[in-house]
Amino acid sequence: MLNLAWQTLRSRPSRFAGTFVALSLGVALIAATGLVLSSQPEAPGQSRYAPGSAVIVANPQRSGIRPSTVDSLRGLDPGVTADRSFGLFLVPVQAAQGHGWTSAGFGPYTLAQGHPPRADDEIVVDSRIAAAGWTPGSRVQIVTESGAGTYVVAGVTGPAGTGEAPVFFTDAQAARLSPRVDAVVVPAGSAVSADAIRAVDARLRVLTGDGVRQAEPDPVADAYEESATLLALMAAISGFVSVFVVAATFALSINQRRRELALLRIVGATARQTRRMVMMEALLVGLCACGAGALLALPVAEAMVALLRGLDVGPPRMNLALSPVPLIVAVLLGFVVALAGVWFASRRTRRIRASEALRQAAVEPAPMTLSRWIVGVLATGGAIAMLAAMPGTDVDGRTSIALLVGQVLVIGAAALAPALMRPLIRLLWWPLRRVADATVEVAQANLRAQARRTASVAAPVLVMVGVAGSFLAATSSLERSSLNEIEARTSAPVVLLPIEAPGLTEAALVTASNVDGVAAVAPIAETHVFIPAGGGFEEYSTQAFPGEAIAGGALRFEVRSGSLAEFRGEVFAVSQAFAAQRGWRVGQVTGMLLDDGSEASLRLVATVDGGISGGSVFLPADRVRRHLTAWNITHALITVKPGSDPGAVRELLQASLNGQATAVDRHTWLTLVGQAQHEGIRIGLIAILGMAGLYTAIAIVNTLVMAVRERAQDLAQLRLAGATRRQAMRMLLWEGALISVAGIVLGAFVTATTLVAMPLALRTMSATAQASLPLAVLSGIGAVCAALILVTSLLSGTIAQRSR
């Protein structure tokens, strides 16, 4: 059987070309993804902590170390140093990292020019910043999250090779600009033990050796994590779609070779032998394809890194290493996909008996098999079960389920496609029967008679439209619902936004509050809290705003329980869905850590509608402001006095702010928010459409090319019956059009399911949930699939007529 399988591959390579290409591409993509994920991004430079020193951080690290804890650590060793790191901008636009001057002492920084900062308005800059023109004696405006100020450059440090551009302040000024202590540095040779440090505060962690890098801001690691998510998505789509291509190709190949297999049965081959031959063919194709995919892995990995860099995703530099583990895993997966793809199809060969073989090979058998019914029913039932479970999960879980439901429904629809094709083709033909010529009648009759072949050609379109459509429906509905929620909550006519700084400065807020016509300025800040969970802490993004923003009408919340009338002091509010997940009730007191690591016991005063837009925890600004070190005021809501024109007030604000911030109307702000949200899904859309589109093209071309020989016989019989060459080609075009529409209809059904499911699930969180779908994008996808089928049908038909 092995020799016979090899001879079949050598004599008819076109039958297996599509499988080979799809499988080798899938192996290459999965292996390349593994190579990129197993490689390490190039470190930005050496650590700024001196060798041999230990660094103490809090757990969780983002919460910072309390000042009282720092004092206790100094009691263990007076040589410990509080380390602060905070972002800043040198005007016009130069991002940098701020530290106290003491932090330079435990790092690789040496003073090359000038002197250390002695006054609070003096700074020392890195040589790279000095190269931009800020030399000793220069005056520079610096914007931090605490505000803007003018400083004199007192000195310049030499090249340190740390990868950051530091600006050093006096320790006192650094503490004012960023009160939170990010880390405490224990000098090399200190006798303080880790146990003694943890005795001061059990939440402290001691980092030594290479681990001290964990205490430093690491944008490279963050970028690496972002790229890893995208690559994993690409690999998942690649594996998911490749299974369809391989399975459909083998199924069509076996269906076309029924006469050949029947002859094998007549000359003495057993059912087990014929099935073993088919499995051997798959094994040989898998062996060749996996080998080719493994050879392509490194070039594809390099192309992936270049693509990520072009999309501005991931670290700027990666050290790609040829590791055997990703290659082995990808090759094994390739074999599994090849064998799984042929397993179901090969089962049908066991039911061919020698006495019935030729009769059964002359006509297409029943389009549906028991295995197809089982897979189709199980997949459809599983999708229904997942939809039923959606209301019990959070917004992230619901989005994931919505995407997964689409893929499961694609599996179900593809399995049931042969059974659906005959009635669907007849339904599509019905309105055409009176307006088109006889070629449409012949086309639909051919498609219905060859339902399995029709399903094989339509399946790639179903996969492409279904996968892309479900992703578009889920993300677009989530995006639209999130924007609706923000719009419903925001009633202020004017919004203040930062220009280049990390957030709005206090000076800008004060300036805005003194403008004629302004009734109130409500700063909205993004911060974090850490809530105990499972023996550790879970970090949550939190929105902080003054209670006056609600009383003054700048913010509107749909309160589900409790009240926001006294939203100040030791209280907080959460979304209804968040409270339900944790079993919280209004009036309950909950312990948590604020952004600076300080402990707080806050009383839940209200549960509110929403949570789709990301904010599920809300804190009063007066309570949080005392502890915030990253007071990132993302925007401020401006209400105007009665009788004042919002447009005129906005123009006065813009003139008065003098570059400190910008004032926009509510509609413009909502547009900017929507654009930012859309940018977040753009890259994922590129990944999904790119992978699914590539496999769809391979599957369509491969399926139609495989049918050339069979089509040659059909076209020859049609010509003998009196049809002209033009009529024969027109029939092929009608077949392609009907198949395209059938695949699009089935894919649209999958999309519609997700489109209905998303808002239904999200409405349990917010009444603003709304279904949304970019029809132009989805229509374009369907049109491209249809065009590909029509062009390939014409080419294969031309070849078939020439070869008859």
- Report the pLDDT averaged over residues 57-69: 76
295 in a structural domain: yes
Instruction: Identify residue 260 by its one-letter amino acid code.
Output: E
31 in a structural domain: yes
pLDDT band for position 525 (cuts 50, 70, 90): confident
Final residue of a structural domain among 316, 337, 365: 365
153 in a structural domain: yes
Residue 362: predicted pLDDT: 47
- Report the pLDDT averaged over residues 451-464: 84
Task: Enumerate the β-bridge partners of residue 332.
Answer: none
Report the alpha-carbon distance of residue 428 to residue 313 in Å, rounded.
Answer: 44
pLDDT band for position 638 (cuts 50, 70, 90): very high
371 in a structural domain: no
Q: Clarify whether residues 328 and 222 are in a common domain.
A: yes
Q: Clarify whether residues 610 and 735 are in a common domain.
A: no
Q: Clarify whether residues 428 and 520 are in a common domain.
A: no
Report the alpha-carbon distance of residue 482 to residue 215 in Å, rounded.
Answer: 34
Residue 508: which residues within 8 A CB-CB, separation 6 or more? 496, 498, 657, 660, 661
Q: State yes or no: pLDDT of 42 exceeds 60.
A: no
Residue 514: predicted pLDDT: 92
Q: What are the tokens at 554?
A: 């700048």
Tally DSSP H helices, then E strands, for the chain: 25, 23
- Report the pLDDT averaged over residues 498-527: 85
Give the tens place of pLDDT for each residue, 318-337: 667 778 888 888 888 888 87
Instruction: Identify residue 475 by its one-letter amino acid code.
Output: T
* DSSP secondary structure string for all residues of 393-405: S-HHHHHHHHHHH
pTM for the whole structure: 0.76
Give the tens place of pLDDT for each residue, 678-729: 776 676 677 767 777 777 787 777 777 776 666 667 777 777 777 788 888 8
- Report the pLDDT averaged over residues 155-169: 83
Q: State yes or no: pLDDT of 604 exceeds 50.
A: yes
Q: Clarify whether residues 76 and 206 are in a common domain.
A: yes
- Report the pLDDT averaged over residues 511-535: 87
370 in a structural domain: no
Q: What are the tokens at 522?
A: 């409500």
Q: State yes or no: pLDDT of 478 exceeds 70.
A: yes
**Count of domains observed in the chain:** 4
Give the tens place of pLDDT for each residue, 756-767: 888 877 777 777
Residue 350: predicted pLDDT: 62
Residue 29: predicted pLDDT: 80
Q: Which region among 142-151, 424-433, 480-489 has the lowest average model confidence (pLDDT)?
A: 142-151
Q: Clarify whether residues 150 and 293 are in a common domain.
A: no
Q: Clarify whether residues 229 and 192 are in a common domain.
A: no
What is the rounded (10 degree) CA torsion for 273, 274, 276, 279? 170
Give the tens place of pLDDT for each residue, 581-594: 888 999 999 998 88
- Report the pLDDT averaged over residues 206-226: 67
- Whether omega before 44 lies within 30 degrees of 0, making that bond cis, reads no
Q: What is the mean pLDDT of the chain?
A: 80
Tell which residue, 698, 659, 752, has the closest CA to residue 141. 659
**Residue with more model confidence, 114 or 54:** 114
E-strand ranges in 546-688 read 559-562, 571-575, 589-593, 599-608, 617-620, 632-640, 662-665
Residue 521: predicted pLDDT: 92
| Structural domain range at position 610 | 499-660
Residue 745: predicted pLDDT: 94
Q: Clarify whether residues 608 and 683 are in a common domain.
A: no
CA 27 vs CA 235, 328, 694: distances in Å: 10, 10, 14
49 in a structural domain: no
Final residue of a structural domain among 187, 212, 237: 212
**Residue with more model confidence, 248 or 768:** 768
335 in a structural domain: yes
Final residue of a structural domain among 365, 392, 426: 365
Task: Enumerate the β-bridge partners of residue 602.
Answer: 590
Report the alpha-carbon distance of residue 219 to residue 198 in Å, rounded.
Answer: 28
- Report the pLDDT averaged over residues 456-470: 86
Report the alpha-carbon distance of residue 251 to residue 364 in Å, rounded.
Answer: 13
Q: Clarify whether residues 101 and 183 are in a common domain.
A: yes
Are 472 and 778 spatial neighbours (Cβ–Cβ below 8 Å)? yes
Q: Clarify whether residues 288 and 184 are in a common domain.
A: no
Report the alpha-carbon distance of residue 304 to residue 668 in Å, rounded.
Answer: 36
Q: Which region among 338-352, 512-526, 570-584 has the lowest average model confidence (pLDDT)?
A: 338-352
- Report the pLDDT averaged over residues 164-176: 90
Q: State yes or no: pLDDT of 316 exceeds 90.
A: no
Residue 711: predicted pLDDT: 67
Report residue 700: phi and psi, to 5°: -65, -50
Indicate left, alpha or beta for 635 from its phi (over 0: left) and psi (-120 to 50: alpha): beta
Residue 161: predicted pLDDT: 65
Are 241 and 693 spatial neighbours (Cβ–Cβ below 8 Å)? no
Report residue 513: phi and psi, to 5°: -70, -20
Q: State yes or no: pLDDT of 360 exceeds 50.
A: no
Q: Clarify whether residues 432 and 520 are in a common domain.
A: no
Residue 205: predicted pLDDT: 85
Are 619 and 604 spatial neighbours (Cβ–Cβ below 8 Å)? no
Q: Which region among 44-48, 248-252, 288-292, 796-800 has the lowest average model confidence (pLDDT)?
A: 44-48
Q: Clarify whether residues 182 and 228 are in a common domain.
A: no
Residue 659: predicted pLDDT: 78
Q: Clarify whether residues 642 and 535 are in a common domain.
A: yes
| Percent of the chain whose pLDDT exceeds 90 | 16
Report the alpha-carbon distance of residue 45 to residue 216 in Å, rounded.
Answer: 12
Report the run of H or E that residue 125 belongs to, with start and end: strand 122-126
State which of 352-361, 514-523, 683-692, 719-728 shows the largest mean pLDDT.
514-523
